Amino acid sequence: MISIKFATFSEQPQIEMLRNTTLLLLQLSTISSASALISPASLSMKSTYSFDRLSLSRHFSPFLSIHTPYISSAISNSKFSSFLDSAISIREADITISGISNQNNNQVQPKASFNCSQSIFANNTASFNGAAIFVSLSGIDANVIDTTFSSNSALIGGAIFFSSRTFNCTSSIFIKNMADIGFHLFCVASNVNIEYTNFQESSFNGTSSIELASATSMSTRFNFISCNFFQNSQPIMANDVSVNVDNCCFIYYSDPENYQSYQNNNQIRSNGKDSVFNFTKTSFNEMYFESKEFSGNPINVDGGTKKEDLGNRCRLFPSPSPTANDGWGSQPAIFSLVAIGFFVIVSIIGIFIVTCHKDKDEEDKSDAEKPLTTLSTKK
């Protein structure tokens, strides 16, 4: 076991041949090496890596690069920004794994897992795929929790490129990521579950915000539960997969001067005849569909448009409108609350002044009546 705590480096060489490593409170900046900072040897023994409270920025190479299925890793409470390559890269390179036999000739099926929680990936760039996280290794179960992916750019999968077994994402945010295919996420997997996640403001020049494809010939299910899609061009592209969309919200507005027309490309798209979409309690604001064969309830998919359904929680404060554009932002809401608070305070002060003035008038009236009473008494 190797543990590093409270470390700060401005230049750090590549770290290799580590096993069971833990890094706590590590801060790195301006790494110009072409090799990953941490890169376990391809033939190393099974190891566990744990990273917590890391802050890394302005790197030419990845922070973590794994080319073997024997590695388990976990990252939490960390920030990765301005990388010129995938911040985290997990793939099999120049190595063939056919199983390892023990004395009884029983094969061992290697498994690697990746967990990422409470982290930030911002302003990272990759020449090819997955600027924040790149996974291309069979048998990986990835779990992303409470993580933000902002302004990452790659050829395919602006924030995440995932080609493996299972991808789970919960309570995360994808915003302003860019790519030619899959602005936020490119996912080729057997199982995908995305819950309570926001996808915001993707680029308008690519083919999809989220690109989905099956990793096997078997039936697979892609689940989106309680997710929000705000101002995304073409939120979902499906390639022969079954997509379940439950209690989600799709809101997209063009520029105010052109609010009546949307992108020429369809918003929900299928690239294969076997794609199936199931919508439940999902709200759309003028969403275009490519096919009339998508099944859904209560959404009536007829190849045209569907006005916003107010039946679920798809309500924002203040409510967006075609001329409001970014009206769903927090600034108008804060301004409204401040204005309401101001008028409440003014009203209270006004009531206090009126009450005091009334009491004074009553006192003056009482004083005016006193001499008359005295005069009457003398008579």
Is 130 within 8 Å of 186 (Cβ atoms)?
A: yes
- Confidence check: pLDDT of 355 > 50: yes
Of 241 and 203, which is predicted with more confidence? Answer: 241
Tally of CA atoms within 13 A in the half-sphere of 359 that contains its CB: 6
13 cis-preceded (ω within 30 degrees of 0): no
Residue 102 confidence (pLDDT): 36
Lowest mean pLDDT among 189-198, 312-321, 335-344: 312-321
Tokens of 153: 């750019």
What does the alpha-carbon distance between residue 290 and residue 2 come to, in Å, rounded to a whole number?
54
The proportion of the chain whose per-residue pLDDT surpasses 70, expressed as a percent, equals 48
- Is 208 within 8 Å of 177 (Cβ atoms)? no
Distance of CA 45 to the CA centre of its chain: 34
pLDDT band at 367 (very low <50, low <70, confident <90, very high): low
pLDDT at 94: 33
Q: Cis ω on the peptide bond leading into residue 371 (within 30° of 0)?
A: no
Per-residue pLDDT, averaged over 132-141, amounts to 82
How do residues 232-270 score in pLDDT, each as one tens digit?
A: 767 787 777 788 888 887 776 544 444 333 333 445 666
Residue pair 132/108 in contact by the 8 Å Cβ criterion: no
What is the C-alpha to C-alpha distance for residues 270 and 272, in angstroms, rounded to an integer? Answer: 6
Do residues 287 and 267 make contact, with C-beta atoms less than 8 angstroms apart? yes
Long-range Cβ contact pairs of 8-16 (< 8 A, separation 24 or more): 12/37, 14/38, 14/39, 15/39, 16/40, 16/41
> Is pLDDT above 80 for 353?
yes
pLDDT surpasses 50 at 61: yes
* pLDDT digit string, tens, across residues 14-44: 443 344 444 544 545 444 455 677 776 655 5
3-state secondary structure of 367: helix
Contact 1, 22 (CB under 8 A): yes
Task: Give the contacts of 146 (CB within 8 A, at least 6 positions apart).
Answer: 117, 118, 170, 171, 172
Residue 172 has pLDDT above 90, yes or no: yes
Q: CB atoms < 10 A from the CB of 363, how many?
A: 10
Q: How confident is the model at residue 135 (pLDDT cuts 50, 70, 90)?
A: confident
169 with 135: CB under 8 angstroms? Answer: no
- Rounded to an integer, what distance in angstroms lies between the CA atom of residue 237 and that of residue 267? 8
Q: Which of 22, 2, 18 is nearest to 66 (CA)?
A: 18
Residue 257 three-state SS: helix
Strand 173-175 versus strand 198-200 pairing type: parallel
Return the top range by mean pLDDT from 3-17, 68-82, 162-176, 235-249. 162-176
| pLDDT for the residue 282 | 75
Nearest-CA neighbor of 24 among 1, 46, 55, 48? 55
Q: List the alpha helices (DSSP H) in the chain.
A: 330-378
- Contact in structure between 99 and 109 (CB atoms under 8 Å): yes
Residues written for the chain? 379
Please report, for the chain, the start and end positions of each structural domain, with discontinuous segments joined by +: 2-332, 333-379
* Mean pLDDT, the chain, whole residue set: 66
Average pLDDT, integer, range 100-104: 35
On the question of pLDDT at 194 being above 90, the answer is yes
Judge whether residue 92 has pLDDT over 90: no
pLDDT at 193: 94
Is the pLDDT at 77 greater than 60, yes or no? yes
- How would residue 51 be classed by pLDDT, with cut points 50, 70 and 90? confident
Q: Are 249 and 216 in contact (CB under 8 A)?
A: no
